[in-house]
Structure 1
Amino acid sequence: MSAATAALVDPVRKLALKAGEVILEVYAADDPGTREKADRTPVTEADVRAEAVILAGLAELAPDIPVVAEESVAAGRIPAELGKAFWLVDPLDGTKEFLSGNGEFTVNIALVEDGVPVLGVVHAPAIGLTYVGAPGLAERTDADGTRPLEVVPAPPEGFRALVSRSHLDPDTEKWLADLRVASFVQAGSSLKFCRIAEGAADVYPRFGRTMEWDIAAGHAVVRAAGGTVRTAAGPPLQYGKPGFDNPPFVAYGRTSPG
């Protein structure tokens, strides 16, 4: 890990925690201020307030690095040039989990360099979990302390496959049908990547639509823990694509099919 990236880890972690505090204030309120965006997906006051906190923090921390953030993009505010490095921010991933009250929503902040997520923080404020991934650093922090993360080989009996609580499309089901699956693990938001990073699951296919800010931080955590994220066609997943849409992809632990 470069000295510059290493110096960003703790400030970005603190920024994610600060955004999480703002989200929990809205989470505890009677009215989360929900409305529908142009793409018919929900957005809450928590999304907006958390993104404002993160953008202000990143502007102070690294003013020369452009930021691509979900709600800003929805409002038409997109950096003219990304350059070698840029941030990807999803201030509240798992809005459906947020609205359902199950706690599996996350703050996601990732630094991308040359198309690769080199630093990622995934913070789940409602359940007190924070994951950090960077070259040479992969860790999980909760009420019991901090421990390192490392992907594990799939069990001999088959893969532990992750499926989304909110998004399970026919193409994903078809892909899973061709896999030797021993069990299914459910998780919401970018926590699916973190489950792989901590050895609780082996594979996470996603064929439905996702955006780069949805997954970059989780990708960084999986990558730091020794896993991989590839397009369904095979090549490694890259970032900074036109429109920021992802193709179908699969996240793997230590062992991948085929």
Structure 2
Amino acid sequence: MLETLERSAVAAGRAILDIYNAGPAVSYKADTSPVTDADHSAERIILADLAASFPDIPVIAEEAAAAGHVPDISGKSFFLVDPLDGTKEFVGRSSDFTVNIALIEDGAPVAGVVYAPALGILYSASAGKARKALIEDDRVAGDHVTIGCRICGDRPVALTSRWHNSAETVAYLADHGITDYEAVGSSLKFCLLAEGLADIYPRFSRTMEWDTAAGDAILRAAGGETLTMEGTPLTYGKRNQRHDSDFANPWFVARGKP
């Protein structure tokens, strides 16, 4: 399965880069978040690949969900897809945008792929193992390298959202004496934790499950964790939430080895 997800993410990434280089057409959703022709093109590729290879596994994809197409996932494994995470990065000509595909079982992300096409870096995870590969000419260049979280030292390094930072995040860093931090876009923050390049990622602003699932799968396989403010693991497949919409996440803190 993981090889199929990797190939699909890389193919979607190629379509995204073609549009990136040509200049994307941008529109805006009801929540004022941007969406481009690259989002739609990449999602069509991924949905076709998943339907062909795993026809019995339902898929929750960001743009399809926004259009009201949400399959029944009760009691089932399912895929979560964000075809272009970090659309603001993409529109702003930054390199911090990714393709995210995750498999969810019993509410937990058990496999995932995060591909950063502008960087040529592919992260993936399954069966409790996280790995990284470089992509050249739409192919893996060399071997996959196993990655893992580092043990946090006396001066933890935090990652924050470039576009969605908040006063609560600033307060959390101050309360925990964290002075070293870097703003990064998209699900790459999870991957940098998984690779042992940073220690903690507090998120006190809105995210959706497709934003986090693939990166969370990679972080967990690398020995890290993503916890809610109640100290419980972030779960997936949240429907009929009393105080929020379907598939919306609560605030969380992702971290490597404490």
**TM-score interval (norm. to shorter):** over 0.9
1:202 aligns with 2:195: no
* Equivalent residue number for residue 245 of structure 1: 248
What SS class does the counterpart of residue 35 from structure 1 fall into? strand
Is the contact made by 1:66 and 1:82 (CA closer than 8 Å) also made in structure 2? no
After TM superposition, give the deviation of residue 180 of structure 1 in Å. 2.5
* Equivalent residue number for residue 242 of structure 2: none
Give the alignment partner of residue 230 of structure 2, picking from 223, 229, 233.
Answer: 233
- Gaps of at least 5 residues in structure 1 are 1-7
Aligned-pair Cα RMSD in Å: 1.1
After TM superposition, give the deviation of residue 164 of structure 1 in Å. 1.3
- What residue identity is the alignment partner of 2:45? V
What SS class does the counterpart of residue 232 from structure 2 fall into? coil
What SS class does the counterpart of residue 78 from structure 2 fall into? strand
Aligned length: 246
Give the alignment partner of residue 160 of structure 1, picking from 148, 152, 157.
Answer: 157
* Equivalent residue number for residue 94 of structure 1: 86
Tell me, in whole angstroms, the C-alpha distance in 2 between the residues paired with 1:206 and 1:133: 22
Query: Structure 2 length normalisation: TM-score?
Result: 0.93
* Equivalent residue number for residue 5 of structure 1: none
* Equivalent residue number for residue 9 of structure 1: 2
What SS class does the counterpart of residue 222 from structure 1 fall into? helix
Q: Note the alpha carbon deviations across 1:105-144, whole angstroms, 9 max, x for none.
A: 0000000000000000000001100000112321111267
What SS class does the counterpart of residue 45 from structure 2 fall into? helix
After TM superposition, give the deviation of residue 225 of structure 1 in Å. 0.3
Q: Note the alpha carbon deviations across 1:143-200, whole angstroms, 9 max, x for none.
A: 67431111011122x2101011111011111111111215112211000000000000
* Equivalent residue number for residue 168 of structure 2: 171
After TM superposition, give the deviation of residue 249 of structure 1 in Å. 0.4
Q: Please give the residue correspondences for 1:114-153 in structure 2 after superposition, counting only pairs within 5 Å.
A: 114-142=106-134, 145=142, 146-153=144-151
* Equivalent residue number for residue 106 of structure 1: 98
* Equivalent residue number for residue 52 of structure 1: 44
Tell me, in whole angstroms, the C-alpha distance in 2 between the residues paired with 1:167 and 1:142: 28
Tell me, in whole angstroms, the C-alpha distance in 1 between the residues paired with 2:73 and 2:251: 25
1:42 aligns with 2:34: yes
Tell me, in whole angstroms, the C-alpha distance in 2 between the residues paired with 1:159 and 1:179: 10
- What residue identity is the alignment partner of 2:57? I
Is the contact made by 2:158 and 2:181 (CA closer than 8 Å) also made in structure 1? yes
Tell me, in whole angstroms, the C-alpha distance in 2 between the residues paired with 1:148 and 1:237: 24
The ranges of structure 1 where at least 4 consecutive aligned residues each deviate by more than 3 angstroms after the TM superposition are none
- What residue identity is the alignment partner of 2:32? R
Q: Note the alpha carbon deviations across 1:61-85, whole angstroms, 9 max, x for none.
A: 1101100000001100011334320
Tell me, in whole angstroms, the C-alpha distance in 2 between the residues paired with 1:188 and 1:39: 19
Tell me, in whole angstroms, the C-alpha distance in 1 between the residues paired with 2:129 and 2:228: 24
Tell me, in whole angstroms, the C-alpha distance in 2 between the residues paired with 1:234 and 1:199: 22
Tell me, in whole angstroms, the C-alpha distance in 2 between the residues paired with 1:18 and 1:119: 19
The percent of aligned pairs where both chains have the same amino acid is 51
Q: Please give the residue correspondences for 1:12-91 in structure 2 after superposition, counting only pairs within 5 Å.
A: 12-30=5-23, 32-91=24-83
